Amino acid sequence: MSYYGIRCGHCGTRGHNRLGCPERKKEALHNPEGYTARALARETATRRAAIENRKCSYCCESGHNRRSCATLKADEAKVKKKQSSYVDLFLATCERKGLGPGAMFKFIDTRGGSWRHTAEYKVALYGYLTSPTWETVSFLNKEFSNNEEGSYLPWRISQIRAFDARLVGYEQLPPEALEDEYFKPAQPGEPIGLTIGDVAPLIEKAFRPSQVDTLDCTRLALKSQLEMVSRVYEPFPLTTTGDKAMPHTHLPSRVVETFSFSPPKNAKAHQRQRLSAESWLWPKLDEGYSIG
């Protein structure tokens, strides 16, 4: 219910409750020793005590709640600044490498080799990029480890969808693909996706952790291979799918969840609390990204 949906139990007017009722306050002012004045004083004292004793579910300090938590607001502003810096880096890296809107690619995928279809085979398709998958474009794709000795892109990161694309068509399908009942070819024009693992070798800087010199992508090329057929050196439009929010100001759900900014109603206490002060992510927030 919105604030203006509240109806006062004293005067019946919408927009305030009994404690904030102007009529009751007027009555208490005219008759300080009356019943209304005494009741209003008791309610005010009770509310003040409740405010002083309540504890914020985010920072765990007393005297305020999550909605008015200055620490949460400061943390969110810092995270948004970091995210905005990463979006600039991501877009600049894509533009320099020719991964722009309409850029065509050839994707070779190794399929089979499991209990479903024991023989491995390769399927080659052509497609073109339409936009990044903005909801997954996050600095957490780059700051995923505090290991300073080297870096492999983790499997959980490599499987995240990075770009939305459209299918142009397949090269001639091998006999194994035609015999594989689990292979369902898409139709030209249908949406397809590329993961971070697919594009990381092309735009390594967008995913290489700040503390390492190189990102080892050799493990990512075992099952799939991406080749650019024609590059487009233009930036992508800065809107997300659906709500049209600017990616510089929008925090992806994974970031919000990591920092416990907006936990679900049924979240447990530890899921509502601020990310541990000992987390290696906090120092990373003070470092901006250099595009050059």
Tell me how many domains the chain contains. 2
- B/e letters for 72-108, b = 16+ CB within 10 Å, e = fewer, are beebbeebeebbbbbbbbbbbbbbebbbbeebbbebe
Residue 253 lies in a domain: no
Residue 10 lies in a domain: yes
Residue ranges in the chain modelled with pLDDT below 70: 1-5, 49-52, 116-118, 146-150, 221-222, 239-245
Residue 7 is classified by DSSP as: B
Looking at the structure, tell me whether residues 111 and 226 fall in a common domain. yes
pLDDT at 15: 81
Residue identified by tokens 């890296």 is 93
pLDDT at 176: 87
Looking at the structure, tell me whether residues 109 and 219 fall in a common domain. yes
pLDDT (tens digit per residue) in 191-239: 999 999 999 999 999 999 888 888 888 777 667 889 999 999 999 988 6
pLDDT at 116: 67
Looking at the structure, tell me whether residues 32 and 138 fall in a common domain. no
pLDDT at 172: 92
Rounded to whole angstroms, how far apart are CA atoms 208 and 221?
Answer: 16
Token pair, residue 171, equals 């090269």
Looking at the structure, tell me whether residues 162 and 217 fall in a common domain. yes
Looking at the structure, tell me whether residues 47 and 151 fall in a common domain. no
SS3 content of the chain, % helix, strand, coil (to 5): 35, 15, 50
Which amino acid makes up residue 200? A
CB of 125 closer than 8 Å to CB of 107? yes
Residue 191 lies in a domain: yes
pLDDT at 1: 43
Looking at the structure, tell me whether residues 101 and 240 fall in a common domain. yes
pLDDT at 188: 95
pLDDT at 180: 84
User: How many other CB atoms are found less than 10 A from the CB of residue 27?
Assistant: 16
Looking at the structure, tell me whether residues 114 and 205 fall in a common domain. yes
pLDDT at 240: 54
Rounded to whole angstroms, how far apart are CA atoms 283 and 84?
Answer: 17
Find, among 237, 192, 229, the residue nearest to 91 by Cα. 237
Looking at the structure, tell me whether residues 139 and 236 fall in a common domain. yes
Distances (CA, A) of 253 to 140, 142, 155, 263, 270: 11, 16, 19, 10, 18
Q: Is 113 left (phi over 0), alpha (psi -120 to 50) or beta?
A: left
**C-alpha dihedral (266, 268, 273, 277), degrees to nearest 10:** -140
Taken in order 51, 56, 57, 61, the sign of the CA dihedral is: negative
Looking at the structure, tell me whether residues 226 and 135 fall in a common domain. yes
Domain holding 131, by residue range, is: 97-247
